[in-house]
């Protein structure tokens, strides 16, 4: 919960700062900008509300039949949602900020900007929803049949893989949506291609989080034989850390790459084909390190 | 649990491999994204040079990728050699 609140606070702070700047530029639009700021902040807040829900459940549930696997799963549920909320909180703040700035420049586009901001920030929430799903599975599944020795590490790894993995995709999705709100404010005619490319870019920026989700599910459901040594447990924990941390960079990087593409298309929409192609090539290269991380995580799970 | 020296080394190597590849992936991921963003913006300004710009982008990204590959190599060494 504490960690989850960081992201929401940064995101909301960013939105409020942009809103103030925007109002000072164009006082007549103060009402609309204020409304849009509140909507944007509410969305940025949702990730931390997920974290709050999980924290409440952790506080007020009586966990019976405690084995160390359950302890680890419950702890891991907290980590997953706490870390998972950071990215979406920060990410959802960016489009809201850009939408406020855009309204002060182009008051006529207020409606379109708000729609685009809502779509963009909704997509930013998906990584934190993945984290929420994994948290619920970790909290409410019955793990009493799982042997303690590698089981505790598998549960902890599952939470870290999706929790940390959601940070990058949340921020990355936000960067793309910010660029598209800026682009629409500057060049209202380009709204259609800009929104399309934004959605394409955000979808690809989600892939590292999806790889994280995949590794978490494997760690939760594969079922590992009981062992007396430490090495298999550490391999599973290492797999979770590897995939989770490894997904941060590519998620942010793909978001940045795609924001460049969106900006260029907003300026010059005739060459959308060339720009989209370069953007996709660039994003594919940025994805490669996430795939290396997944390979190492899978080797740790299945071979080590 | 009977934990012996060899087991601890194996355990440390496994978790080290995970940490190496995980953290090693952050930098190249962000860096390659920055390269691609600039390339897209440049192509938007000067579409005629799209081929040259894409080539330069790929060379730049390949260099940025190198530290990611170092991390991969170290992770594989920790997994299979140690």
Name the band, by pLDDT with cuts 50, 70 and 90, for residue A22: low
In tens, the pLDDT along A86-102 reads 888 888 888 888 888 88
Contacts of B44 in chain A (CB under 8 A): 263-265, 267-268, 271, 275
Chain B residue whose CA is closest to A226: B1
Domain ranges of chain A: 2-302
- Is A292 close to B14, i.e. CB distance below 8 A? no
User: What DSSP line would sit under chain A, residue for residue?
Assistant: -HHHHHHHHHHHHHHHHHHHHHHHH-GGGHHHHHHHHHHHHHHHHHHHHHHHHHHHHHHH----S--HHHHHHHHHHHHHHHHHHHHHHHHHHHHHHHHHHHHHH-GGGHHHHHHHHHHHHHHHHHHHHHHHHHHHHHHHS--TTS-HHHHHHHHHHHHHHHHHHHHHHHHHHHHHHHHHHHHHHH-GGGHHHHHHHHHHHHHHHHHHHHHHHHHHHHHHHS-----SSSHHHHHHHHHHHHHHHHHHHHHHHHHHHHHHHHHHHHH-GGGHHHHHHHHHHHHHHHHHHHHHHHHHHHHHHHT-
Residue B19 lies in a domain: no
Closest CB to A241: pick one of B19, B32, B71.
Answer: B19
A140 part of contact set with chain B, CB < 8 Å: no
Name the band, by pLDDT with cuts 50, 70 and 90, for residue A130: very high
Q: Is the pLDDT of residue A83 over 90?
A: no
pLDDT at res. B17: 93
Determine the average pLDDT of the residues in B41-63. Answer: 91
- Is B43 close to A264, i.e. CB distance below 8 A? yes
Q: Which domain holds residue B49?
A: 30-82
Q: Is the pLDDT of residue B20 over 60?
A: yes
pLDDT at res. B3: 64
Determine the average pLDDT of the residues in A283-298. Answer: 94
Q: Is the pLDDT of residue B37 over 90?
A: yes
Number of domain units in chain B: 1
Residue B77 lies in a domain: yes
B76 part of contact set with chain A, CB < 8 Å: yes
pLDDT at res. B6: 83
Contacts of A274 in chain B (CB under 8 A): 43, 47, 50
pLDDT at res. A11: 66
Check if CATH label 1.20.120.610 holds for domain A2-302. yes
Task: For residue A25, give how far its alpha carbon lies from the nearest alpha carbon of chain B (Å).
Answer: 27
Name the band, by pLDDT with cuts 50, 70 and 90, for residue A205: very high
pLDDT averaged over every residue in chain A = 87
Residue B54 lies in a domain: yes
In tens, the pLDDT along A227-257 reads 888 888 999 999 999 999 999 999 999 999 9
Residue B17 lies in a domain: no
Contacts of A167 in chain B (CB under 8 A): none
Residue B80 lies in a domain: yes
Lowest mean pLDDT among A1-5, A188-192, A288-292: A1-5
pTM of the model as a whole: 0.89
B55 part of contact set with chain A, CB < 8 Å: no
Task: For residue B54, give how far its alpha carbon lies from the nearest alpha carbon of chain A (Å).
Answer: 6
- Is A281 close to B54, i.e. CB distance below 8 A? yes
Determine the average pLDDT of the residues in B49-70. Answer: 92
Name the band, by pLDDT with cuts 50, 70 and 90, for residue B66: very high
pLDDT at res. A289: 92
pLDDT at res. A243: 95
B35 part of contact set with chain A, CB < 8 Å: yes
Name the band, by pLDDT with cuts 50, 70 and 90, for residue A131: very high
Residue B14 lies in a domain: no
pLDDT at res. A58: 82
Contacts of B17 in chain A (CB under 8 A): 238, 242, 296, 300
């Amino acid at each position: 919960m504490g960690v989850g609140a960081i992201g929401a606070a940064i995101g909301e702070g960013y939105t409020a700062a942009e809103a103030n700047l925007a109002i000072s530029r164009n006082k007549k639009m103060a009402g609309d900008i204020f409304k849009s700021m509140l909507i944007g902040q509410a969305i940025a807040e949702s990730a931390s509300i997920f974290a709050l829900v999980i924290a409440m459940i952790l506080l007020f549930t009586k966990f019976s039949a405690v084995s160390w696997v359950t302890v680890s799963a419950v702890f891991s549920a907290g980590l997953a949602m706490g870390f998972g909320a950071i990215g979406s909180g920060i990410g959802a703040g960016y489009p809201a900020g850009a939408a406020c700035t855009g309204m002060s420049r182009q008051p006529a586009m207020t409606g379109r900007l708000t729609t685009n901001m809502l779509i963009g920030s909704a997509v930013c929430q998906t990584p934190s929803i993945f984290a929420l799903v994994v948290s619920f599975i970790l909290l409410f599944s019955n793990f009493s049949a799982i042997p303690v020795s590698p089981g505790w590490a598998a549960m902890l790894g599952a939470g870290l893989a999706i929790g940390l993995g959601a940070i990058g995709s949340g921020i990355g999705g936000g960067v793309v949506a910010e660029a598209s709100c800026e682009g629409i404010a500057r060049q209202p005619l380009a709204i259609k291609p800009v929104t399309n490319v934004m959605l394409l870019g955000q979808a690809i920026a989600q892939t590292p989080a999806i790889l994280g989700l995949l590794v978490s599910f494997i760690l939760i459901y594969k079922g590992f034989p009981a062992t007396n040594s430490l090495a298999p447990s550490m391999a599973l924990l290492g797999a979770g850390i590897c995939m989770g941390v490894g997904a941060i960079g590519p998620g942010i990087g793909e978001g940045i790459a795609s924001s460049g593409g969106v900006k260029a298309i907003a300026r010059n929409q005739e060459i959308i084909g060339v720009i989209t192609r370069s953007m996709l090539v660039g994003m594919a290269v940025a994805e490669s390190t996430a795939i290396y991380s997944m390979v190492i995580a899978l080797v740790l799970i299945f071979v080590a | 649990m009977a934990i012996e020296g060899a087991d601890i080394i194996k355990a440390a190597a496994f978790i080290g491999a995970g940490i190496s590849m995980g953290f090693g992936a952050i930098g190249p991921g962000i860096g390659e994204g920055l390269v691609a963003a600039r390339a897209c913006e440049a192509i938007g300004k000067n579409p005629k040079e799209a081929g040259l710009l894409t080539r330069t982008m790929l060379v730049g990204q390949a260099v940025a990728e190198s530290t990611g590959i170092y991390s991969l190599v170290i992770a594989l060494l920790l997994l299979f050699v140690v």
